């Protein structure tokens, strides 16, 4: 039984996650589809070295794909590499991801690979490149806060890969990462590259200025791309983009491991600390 602190914190976290179970995720996915927004479902949890847990996560992603199909849901999944074994056994990770990609292929669904903190960047990209050869609808997330990303983006665009561009959610050292306004400037640079050379990419941000810039670039040079935002953030903007005729996706996490994910969302948005305090007292 969770303690009172955890229960109260969960009340705040609930705006960003579907709930504890896969059923919760499917219920939220249907509601999201009704708003003409595609869903990207993620099972929370990361960095596990336990082979049994890794196998369970893999099975669960296969189950999500089945349920998306049987419930006729417009959407797909996004996986965290360290859930599937990247942190402990790269060949096993590759096998697990391949199983998921093969299953997704059968139901004509793309699969997205999240990007975690910098110790995993190289191996995440390496395995993506290897699997992309046979699964060319697979996409990968790249983070504008990392200095290496421009080079990575160019190398992925060169093989025709698909990219979800985000600012980056993990604190990284000054040596390898941009800070503050530099992140936004790099995002804009990378966004231009996507509009020049990318196809079927994802603009993953809630930042009004970056969204407006993507809309402007698209007026100049029409591309197939999707705006994606996280569950519980900027619903107004999602609805506005849908009514302007854009493809919009919502990233919907679920699972009992909601705490770390919610901490990242709080860190991004100080106002959420006030919401947290209100939820603890209200
Ligand atoms: C679809 C998707 C997938 C992602 N996948 C990854 C991934 O694989 N790896 C990774 O490192 N990161 C990922 N992220 C997270 C991303 O890196 C950023 O941490 C996150 O999107 C916040 O950055 P921002 O671009 O929205 O800009 P910010 O500068 O953080 O926010 C811009 C504006 O959005 C609103 N906003 C932002 N956050 C919140 C919030 N928590 N609550 C309320 N309002 C808010 C505010 O109006 C704010 O001014 C993903 C994000 C999205 C949208």
Q: What is the pLDDT of residues 52-66, one digit of tens each?
A: 999 999 999 999 999
Alpha helices in the chain (DSSP H): 4-13, 22-34, 51-70, 90-106, 121-132, 149-158, 181-197, 208-220, 235-243, 258-268, 271-281
At 53 the pLDDT is 94
What percent of the chain has a predicted confidence (pLDDT) above 90? 82
* Smallest CA separation from ligand 1 atom 43, residue: 233
Average pLDDT over residues 78-90: 96
Tell the residue number behind the tokens 């893999």, with chain if given: 58
Ligand 1 atom with the smallest distance to the CA of 266 is 41
Ligand 1 center to residue 1 CA distance, Å? 31
Ramachandran angles phi, psi of 45, nearest 5° = 125, 140
Within 8 A by CB and 6+ apart from 10, the residues are: 2, 258
At 43 the pLDDT is 96
Ligand 1 center to residue 10 CA distance, Å? 20
* Smallest CA separation from ligand 1 atom 21, residue: 205
- Per-residue pLDDT for 268 more than 80? no
Residue in 97, 117, 111, 104 with CA at minimum distance from that of residue 47: 117
At 239 the pLDDT is 97
- Per-residue pLDDT for 40 more than 90? yes
* Smallest CA separation from ligand 1 atom 53, residue: 229
Ligand 1 atom with the smallest distance to the CA of 117 is 11
Ramachandran angles phi, psi of 48, nearest 5° = -105, 130
> Cβ atoms within 10 A of the Cβ of 163, count?
26
Q: Which one has a higher pLDDT value, 199 or 226?
A: 226
d(CA 189, CA 228): 19
Average pLDDT over residues 101-122: 97
> Cβ atoms within 10 A of the Cβ of 16, count?
20
Three-class secondary structure of residue 19 per DSSP: coil
- Per-residue pLDDT for 206 more than 60? yes
- Per-residue pLDDT for 282 more than 50? no
Residues with a CB atom less than 6 Å from ligand 1? 114-115, 141, 143, 164, 166-170, 204-207, 228-230, 233-234, 251, 265, 268-269, 272
Tell the residue number behind the tokens 């990361």, with chain if given: 46
**Chain centre distance of CA 34:** 21
Average pLDDT over residues 187-207: 97
- For 68, 118, 129, 205, 253, the CA distances from 154, given in Å and listed in that order, are 32, 18, 13, 20, 29
- Per-residue pLDDT for 160 more than 80? yes
Q: What is the pTM for the complete model shown?
A: 0.94
* Smallest CA separation from ligand 1 atom 8, residue: 114
Classify residue 43 as left (phi > 0), alpha (psi -120 to 50) or beta: beta
Is residue 272 very low, low, confident or very high in pLDDT (cuts 50, 70, 90)? low
Ligand 1 center to residue 280 CA distance, Å? 24
At 242 the pLDDT is 98
Ligand 1 center to residue 74 CA distance, Å? 22
Q: How much is the mean pLDDT over the chain?
A: 93
d(CA 74, CA 206): 21
At 83 the pLDDT is 95
Ligand 1 center to residue 217 CA distance, Å? 21
* 114 a catalytic residue: yes
Q: Which of 43, 109, 110, 114 is flagged as catalytic?
A: 114
Residue in 122, 97, 123, 99 with CA at minimum distance from that of residue 112: 97
Average pLDDT over residues 114-126: 98
């Amino acid at each position: 039984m969770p303690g009172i602190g955890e229960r109260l914190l969960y009340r705040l976290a609930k705006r960003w996650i579907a709930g504890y179970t896969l059923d919760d995720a499917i219920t939220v996915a249907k509601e999201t589809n009704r708003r003409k927004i595609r869903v990207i479902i993620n099972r929370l949890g990361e960095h596990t070295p336990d082979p049994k847990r890794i196998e369970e996560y893999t099975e669960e992603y296969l189950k999500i794909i089945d349920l998306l199909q049987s419930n006729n849901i417009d959407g797909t999944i996004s996986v965290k590499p360290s859930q599937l074994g990247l942190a402990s056994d790269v060949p096993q990770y590759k096998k697990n991801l391949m199983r998921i990609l093969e299953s997704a292929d059968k139901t004509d669904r793309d699969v997205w690979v999240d990007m975690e903190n910098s110790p995993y960047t190289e191996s995440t990209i390496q395995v993506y490149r290897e699997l992309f050869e046979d699964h060319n609808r697979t996409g990968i997330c790249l983070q504008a806060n990392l200095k290496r990303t421009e080079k990575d983006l160019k190398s992925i665009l060169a093989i025709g890969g698909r990219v979800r561009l985000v600012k980056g959610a993990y604190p990284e050292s000054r040596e390898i990462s941009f800070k503050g306004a530099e992140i936004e400037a790099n995002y804009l640079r990378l966004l231009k590259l996507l509009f020049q050379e990318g196809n079927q990419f994802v603009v993953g941000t809630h930042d009004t200025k970056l969204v407006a810039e993507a809309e402007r670039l698209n007026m100049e040079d029409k591309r197939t791309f999707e705006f994606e935002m996280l569950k519980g953030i900027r619903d107004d903007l999602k609805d506005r983009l849908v009514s302007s005729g854009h493809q919009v996706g919502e990233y919907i996490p679920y699972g009992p491991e909601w705490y770390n994910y919610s901490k990242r969302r709080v860190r991004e948005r100080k106002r959420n600390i006030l919401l947290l305090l209100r939820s603890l007292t209200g």
